[in-house]
A = this chain, B = another copy of it.
Amino acid sequence: MSGDAPQPDWIAVDWGTSSLRVWAMAPDGRPLAEARSEDGMSRLAPEAFEAAFLRLVAPWLSGPAPVPVVICGMAGARQGWREAPYRPVPCPPLGPEMLSFAGTDPRLQVTIVPGLSQARPADVMRGEETQIAGLLAVAPGFDGIACLPGTHTKWARLSAGEVVGFQTCMTGELFALLSGQSVLRHSVGNTGWDAEAFAEAVADAISAPQRFAARLFGLRAEALLSGLAPESARARLSGLLIGLDLAASRPYWLGQDIVLIGEGSLSNRYAEALRAQGAAPRKADATEITLAGLRAARATLVERGRP
C-alpha cells in the first residue's frame, strides 16, 4: 500500500493570516501526512476557503464518510471562512462553544475553534488558544506564562487550567514594516546578526522605553555617518522592538515561570532577551504544541459525541 494517500481519521488544520497547514491524523493521534500552502486568510474571501482547503486535502478524502476537520486560527475571524465568536477570559483555552458546520462538499464536517477575548485591556487571540490548550495537554497543571512570539506576540497568564489574562504586542509586524518599508530599509540587512548589538538594544529599550522613538532613526543616521553594518542594524532594530515588548510585558515575565512556544530565530531572540533579564524561559516546539492543542479540541468534540 506504500505510496497510497493516507486515509485520515480526521484532519487537523492551522489556518493563519498568511498560511494554511494541514495534517492527516491517525486514530491514535499521530500525523500520517502533512501539507501546506500560502492560502492564508488575508488572501481569501470567505467563499474561497473551502476550495483552498480542498486543493490541499483532496487526496485524503477518498473514503465514503465525511471526514472531521478541526481548525484553529484566523479561519474563524469575521473575514475568515465562518466567524467563530470569541470566548471571554477568564476561561479554559478550549470550551464547548465550537463552531461546527457541514461543508458544501459532503466529504467535510468542519469545526472551528473560537479565539479568546479580553475586555480590559481590550485584546483578542485566534489560534494561540489552541496552542495554550496544547501546552496544558503536554504539561497538565502548568501555572505560569505562555509566551508565543510572532507577528503579534501573545503573552498569556495560565492558572488552574484557565487563561486568566493576556496581552498582544505587534512586535513581529513592526519589525517587518520598519525593516522592509520604512526609511530604515536602506540600513537594515535582510540577513546576518550581531548578538552584542541585540543585547544592548534590548537592555536600552527595557530600561529607557521613553527613548524608543528617537532610537529608531539613530539606526539610519549611524549607517550614514559611521557605516553601521546592516547586520548590526538588523539586530539593533530587533532588540529595540523586543525590548519595548518586554517593557510592556514585564508583569507577564518578572518572577514568572515562562514557556516560550515558537520556532526559529524569533523565539530564540525572545529567550535570549528574557535570560538577559534574569528570567529562565523553557521552550516548546510550536508544531508539536499546535498538534497537541488540535488533538485536545478533537477529543473535546468526541467526548461530547459530536462528529
Interface residues of A (CB under 8 A from B): 78, 86, 117-119, 121-124, 152, 167-171, 173-174, 177-178, 181-183, 209-218, 220-222, 224-226, 241, 244-245, 247-250
Contact = CB atoms under 8 A, between A and B. Distances in A.
A117 B218 CA distance: 11
Contact of A170 (B117, B216, B224, B247): B216
A214 B170 CA distance: 8
A217 B122 CA distance: 9
Contacts of A117: 221, 224-225
B124 A210 contact: no
A210 B167 CA distance: 14
Given A123-B217, A212-B209, A225-B86, A173 B169 contact: no
A121 B218 contact: yes
Contact of A221 (B78, B124, B216): B124
Given A121-B214, A123-B221, A209-B210, 18 more contacts: A121-B218, A121-B221, A122-B218, A123-B218, A124-B225, A152-B183, A168-B214, A177-B177, A177-B181, A209-B209, A209-B247, A210-B248, A211-B248, A212-B248, A213-B244, A213-B249, A214-B248, A214-B249
Please indicate which of the listed interface residues A118, A119, A248 has the most CB atoms of chain B within 10 Å of its own CB.
A248
Q: Chain A: interface secondary structure?
A: helix
A173 B182 contact: yes
Contacts of A167: 214
Nearest to A223: B122
Nearest to A77: B224
